[in-house]
A = this chain, B = another copy of it.
């Protein structure tokens, strides 16, 4: 039995059964029109055998975008996927699920449509894997909301979906600075050593991360006083230097008598329960833990307010981890696996018994059946975890976001999570988890960005240089040439891998990376402006080319992105490559940026090009009739001089750019307390005419304009800004 409502011009919702309220979306359904007859649908939907099955026949040219954070290309066709938040650190193309569950598809066939499946358990997608032209989606349940978006372009359908998500999370401006991480800078001495190297090398930096080793025995909301003595004054000392410390918080709470978080959780029944209605035991970093029941609003508030102990010490940013949740093992599975080992003792193990044994140990980690072993208290009833699995990380992050808002209502905290689902974009960003120092993962990082944005998560980025494995300098340079455009630009690497800081390689690499990071700071006025506009206008920051260009070739491009409204990027992602092929869908101004200085610019004509790109050259393409606003670099975001900015423009007719800015620290932008400077450049009769409208920016004093016209004309001028 299906109940249909029209949600907006583009969207209808089909409600099957009585779905669990995931709170993924936030929109006013009160006055929505209920439809009495099923409108024509772009795909087949069938309820049978306690499942809902969706099917669609794809034409040879049909592309299927979406699925947020996942493996394979932008076009998901050919793959099998599952939406089931999974801590799998090896992102090879055969994997079905990563950390997020992002059930949004954009089907680009003859008539484009979008599909969002609002359902918190596992969904499987066969997108032309089994049969080249056929797509099948299976929900093993009869309770789900399906949202279908029609009658628009891919971009319009995406924006229609975005409009249902509520207000997006806005990171503070300093979170657009360069950030340095490692598992782990485990002591004050190590952090100091790293920061000294940044200083000596004069490389800007805004934040240093504390991975799990800063805690006492991996206990959330504790700081090991031996490793970080006088933590509070250390946090403030670094903040005076423009450096924030960002500690990690894990989902599992260590079982330890006397540990306050553990004791309070047990006392108040805030932990997930096993089938005996006792707190469920799993093992993660510290050994045995309980999982807070983030689906219980009381537990969620309790945990969220725990962040106060660190906020009170001056912490302004957190990353939430292991919140799929990741489970190393459960006690009974460990026992049965050890029993298997004992039974193998002295046996002549052959192919079957040998791999049976080693596989048993291997599959202790995040065993799917372990997710059936615990329960949540939702509105007074116990719900098995597996059926709401994808809500866990989301609600942990919501817990943090709501807690932080209660702790310090006005402050914007940096907050991002590993696990996520759609809706989480209201509370935080995500990073793309434990990638590898593989060249393929630069491309994967690029390809995920627009798909994650489609799901409403705007603050995002990958572990630059790769988490696992050993990077070389060249890889880190090329990866950084992508990450310098992602809102989160963080270099992070794993235990036992090669050091990966920008100064960990040779002098030449250090010099190049320093220039790239300085270039990042130069780009912050533009990146922050575009990000905040996407936040406020429920838009996206990254787009595939086909969102803006309708030619067939644009929809084939899988290795270039539009970044905000003015830029296209095309980073190199092949080892030793001296350049790359770039498709330029309209005439653009190319800037091969070596430093923040605007040199090596040229107009590139619409079409296919092989662009030579030396290791130190970052390619930046400014779209036709577009402007890019730039500052001078600084050693951190707080020190950016935003009183004098540069505008680099390529204008054949008219370009209008709205430069957004606000305090970058408070939530006042929500009340409209922000500034816009409207910069308009008209090119007519071989002349540029520039007009500026200042709506409330009291910082900007001067604009230096560098304008290029279609015929090779170039003009520089300076303008004073009225306050």
Please list the residues of chain A having a beta carbon within 8 angstroms of any beta carbon in chain B: 60-61, 63, 72-73, 75, 77-80, 90, 92-94, 128-133, 212, 218, 283-288, 328-329, 334-335, 337-338, 341-342, 344-346, 348-351, 354, 357-358, 361-362, 364-365, 436-440, 468-470, 472-475, 505-506, 508-509, 553, 556, 558, 574-579, 581, 608, 610, 614-615
Main secondary structure of the interface of A (DSSP, over half): loop
12 A-B pairs within 8 Å (CB atoms) are namely A60-B615, A75-B575, A79-B472, A93-B439, A94-B470, A131-B473, A285-B351, A334-B344, A335-B346, A341-B341, A342-B342, A556-B578
* Nearest 8 pairs of A and B residues by beta carbon: A341-B341, A287-B350, A287-B348, A361-B361, A94-B469, A78-B575, A75-B576, A285-B351
> CA–CA, A508 to B553, complex, Å?
25
Closest to A288 in B: B348
A353 nearest CB across to chain B (Å): 8
> CA–CA, A193 to B440, complex, Å?
39
Contacts of A581 in B (CB 8 A): 581, 608, 610
A628 nearest CB across to chain B (Å): 28
Let me know if A92 and B436 touch, CB within 8 A.
Answer: yes
| A131, A132, A610 interface centre (most CB from chain B within 10 Å) | A132
> CA–CA, A614 to B579, complex, Å?
26
A109 nearest CB across to chain B (Å): 13
A573 nearest CB across to chain B (Å): 12
A496 nearest CB across to chain B (Å): 11
Closest to A475 in B: B78
Let me know if A348 and B283 touch, CB within 8 A.
Answer: yes
Let me know if B354 and A361 touch, CB within 8 A.
Answer: no
Closest to A347 in B: B287
Let me know if A474 and B132 touch, CB within 8 A.
Answer: yes
Let me know if A93 and B440 touch, CB within 8 A.
Answer: yes
> CA–CA, A468 to B95, complex, Å?
12
Let me know if A575 and B72 touch, CB within 8 A.
Answer: yes
A597 nearest CB across to chain B (Å): 22
Copies per complex?
2
Let me know if A94 and B364 touch, CB within 8 A.
Answer: no
Let me know if A80 and B470 touch, CB within 8 A.
Answer: yes
Let me know if B576 and A63 touch, CB within 8 A.
Answer: yes
Tell me whether A576 and B77 are in contact in the complex, defined as CB-CB below 8 angstroms, given that A93-B440, A132-B505, A438-B94 are known contacts.
yes
> CA–CA, A692 to B341, complex, Å?
72
A250 nearest CB across to chain B (Å): 11
Closest to A607 in B: B610
Q: Which listed residue, B78, B286, B469, touches A350 by the CB 8 Å rule? A: B286
Contacts of A361 in B (CB 8 A): 357-358, 361-362
> CA–CA, A717 to B508, complex, Å?
61
> CA–CA, A660 to B468, complex, Å?
51
Closest to A364 in B: B358
Give 13 new A-B contacts, CB below 8 A, not counting A132-B472, A284-B351, A328-B354.
Answer: A73-B574, A78-B475, A93-B439, A94-B468, A285-B351, A329-B349, A335-B345, A338-B345, A358-B361, A358-B362, A361-B362, A558-B574, A581-B610
Contacts of A286 in B (CB 8 A): 350-351
Let me know if A350 and B285 touch, CB within 8 A.
Answer: yes
Let me know if B575 and A73 touch, CB within 8 A.
Answer: yes
Let me know if B508 and A132 touch, CB within 8 A.
Answer: yes
Contacts of A78 in B (CB 8 A): 472, 474-475, 575-576
Contacts of A440 in B (CB 8 A): 93, 440
Contacts of A615 in B (CB 8 A): 60
Let me know if A218 and B351 touch, CB within 8 A.
Answer: yes
Contacts of A614 in B (CB 8 A): 60
> CA–CA, A287 to B354, complex, Å?
8
Let me know if B365 and A358 touch, CB within 8 A.
Answer: yes
Contacts of A475 in B (CB 8 A): 78
Contacts of A287 in B (CB 8 A): 348-350, 354
> CA–CA, A556 to B576, complex, Å?
9
Closest to A94 in B: B469
> CA–CA, A328 to B284, complex, Å?
29
> CA–CA, A257 to B205, complex, Å?
69
> CA–CA, A129 to B556, complex, Å?
33
| A73, A92, A338, A581 interface centre (most CB from chain B within 10 Å) | A338
Let me know if A132 and B473 touch, CB within 8 A.
Answer: yes
Let me know if A132 and B438 touch, CB within 8 A.
Answer: no
| A344, A357, A576 interface centre (most CB from chain B within 10 Å) | A576
Contacts of A473 in B (CB 8 A): 131-132
> CA–CA, A283 to B352, complex, Å?
12
Let me know if A132 and B73 touch, CB within 8 A.
Answer: no
Contacts of A474 in B (CB 8 A): 78, 128, 132
Let me know if A472 and B338 touch, CB within 8 A.
Answer: no
Closest to A358 in B: B361
A516 nearest CB across to chain B (Å): 15
Let me know if B345 and A132 touch, CB within 8 A.
Answer: no
Contacts of A576 in B (CB 8 A): 63, 73, 75, 77-78
Let me know if A283 and B358 touch, CB within 8 A.
Answer: no
| A129, A349, A364, A575 interface centre (most CB from chain B within 10 Å) | A575
Contacts of A218 in B (CB 8 A): 350-351
Contacts of A575 in B (CB 8 A): 72-73, 75, 77-79
A507 nearest CB across to chain B (Å): 10
> CA–CA, A471 to B267, complex, Å?
52
A453 nearest CB across to chain B (Å): 21
Closest to A213 in B: B351
Closest to A580 in B: B581
